[in-house]
Structure 1
Amino acid sequence: MDTTDWNHANPIAPDQLPAPITRYLAAHQARDLDTAVALYTPGASVTDEGRTHQGPEQIHAWLARSAGEYTYTTELTAAAKVDDQHYDAVHHLEGDFPGRTADLHFRFTMRDGLIARLVIEP
């Protein structure tokens, strides 16, 4: 279980996020699934909408499904750092999904220069 206290994250400039995170976010936005999945550790997990996807196959399937479900734009609006392994990237989304707008936290846990865990939540 992750015990990271995200309320104590310190704001940073978005360009201060680690390179693997910025590469992942660019690949995610471009819907470049293979590049995005390659930035995860082999045992990584993603939790989105209350569901956890474990390992490269499940993460790839989640990315493919989420990329095709709705049309939306995303803008990185803020970033924060808890410590050298935990980063938060806040995105504003607008599109044809229910509610039409959302501000989401992409909360990353890094390990060995790759993404070990991503939790996406409001």
Structure 2
Amino acid sequence: MERATEEFALITCLVVGLSHILQRRVWTETYVGLHRLGKPGALLNGGLSLFTGAALVAFHPVWKGLAMALTILGWMLVLKGAVCFLAPDAALRSMGKASDRGFAAGGVVLLIVAAVLGFVLAAT
């Protein structure tokens, strides 16, 4: 199950990472729109993060080697989702600061995770 999770995450990180870089303005507009919705927007944002993060954590409990980068990403997404659900006002403050530059930086991070996963998968 861990290998399948790594393959799923590699594809997802690659596509979403490239999208964050190439379509950063659209991502910013999306977060501005979610921010305008108020707390329901925070819950929508949190739902996407919590679902993805919980799946990664459940199916990839790896805490050694380079592969643990995926488990750490999963826990970070769970934390983001939890903040959105449990402290939506704090989530909205963060969402209100969305910027093209921030999404591009996030895209770079996701591409790095994809590269690490590619290396891990090639080595196994």
Q: TM-score range by the shorter chain?
A: 0.3 to 0.5
* Structure with greater helix share of residues: 2
**Higher RCO (C-alpha under 8 Å, 6+ residues apart):** 2
If the length of structure 1 is used for normalisation, what is the TM-score?
A: 0.32
* Structure with greater strand share of residues: 1
